[in-house]
Amino acid sequence: MLIITKNRHFNSLSVILNHLPVIFLLTELFVSKNRKQNY
């Protein structure tokens, strides 16, 4: 039981880590858009 929950937790963690670059790219795009609007 413990091993299963640990694996599940690790899987979700890896998914989040895999999505981090995408989130970073999206935020960068958003910030750059805001900067362009300000200028």
Q: How many angstroms separate the CA atoms of 11 and 32, rounded?
A: 32
- What's the confidence (pLDDT) of residue 4? 63
Q: How many angstroms separate the CA atoms of 32 and 13, rounded?
A: 28
- What's the confidence (pLDDT) of residue 29? 93
- H or E element, residue 2: helix 2-38
> Residues 28, 32, 38, 39: is their CA dihedral positive or negative?
positive
**Does 31 score more than 80 pLDDT?**
yes
Query: Given pLDDT bands bounded at 50, 70 and 90, which one contains residue 36?
Result: confident
Q: Show me where the domains of the chain are located.
A: 1-33
Query: Given pLDDT bands bounded at 50, 70 and 90, which one contains residue 26?
Result: very high
| Radius of gyration for the chain, computed over Cα atoms and rounded to the nearest angstrom | 17
**Does 35 score more than 70 pLDDT?**
yes
Report the predicted TM-score, pTM, of the whole model to 2 decimal places.
0.49
